Amino acid sequence: MKTKLSLLAALAPALALAQSAPAPQAPAMPDVSQHTMVMAKDIKWGEAPPSLPKGAQMTVLSGDPGKAGPFAIRIKAPPGYKVPRHWHPADEQVTIISGDFHLSMGESGSAHGADFVAGDYANLPAQMQHEASTKGGVIVQVNSTGPFEINYVDAKDDPRNAMPKASK
């Protein structure tokens, strides 16, 4: 009995301290100024960056693909469009909004392909080689973490390395 009382006497200060300690704080809510709502009818398309082959259009839905942090973009590609085998330093989540989309994933010698339609989704881990194409045109949404980079497996496929055509 004496042992139980000694134990209670020793624990009493610790219990009192624990009860007076402040409760853990919930994570802060995001700043309301970062709230984003985009209506499809209001999207303004612009030319895709030079890291993508000519012909595609792009819009930024949220974030800044050029800076560190999360972002969401949409890319609209015309029929017959193809992005040669490449990889990104960050995971890439791709949702097909409309049209048809083909992905060849993995290194070219052991790649496996899949065809996607509106509503389908693919997660491409960082540094996974892949190439993308469409037969009839596509709009895809890409969610990732910036800064956005595209690294072509074969440097000759990189549109930034293309020689400007001589004017006549």
Per-residue model confidence as pLDDT tens digits over 20-29: 444 444 444 3
Rounded Cα gap, residues 64 and 24, in angstroms:
32
| Torsion of the alpha carbons at 68, 72, 78 and 82, rounded to the nearest 10 | 50
pLDDT above 70: percentage of residues in the chain = 76
Residue 111: pLDDT band with limits 50, 70, 90: confident
Taking domain 43-153, whether its CATH number is 2.60.120.10 is answered by yes
Looking at residues 143-166, what average pLDDT do you find?
91
**Residue 146 token pair:** 């910036």
The predicted structure's pLDDT at residue 168: 56
d(CA 44, CA 12): 65
What is the residue whose two structure tokens read 């491409």?
124
| 136 within 8 A of 145, measured Cβ to Cβ | no
Residue 68 burial class via C-beta count within 10 angstroms: exposed 0-12, middle 13-18, buried 19 and up? exposed
Distance, in Å, from the CA atom of 127 to the CA atom of 84, rounded to the nearest integer, reads 15
Site of tokens 């853990």: 24
- Could you state, in order of their start, the residue ranges of all structural domains in the chain? 43-153
Per-residue confidence (pLDDT) for residue 100, from 0 to 100: 98
- For residue 163, the model assigns a pLDDT of 67
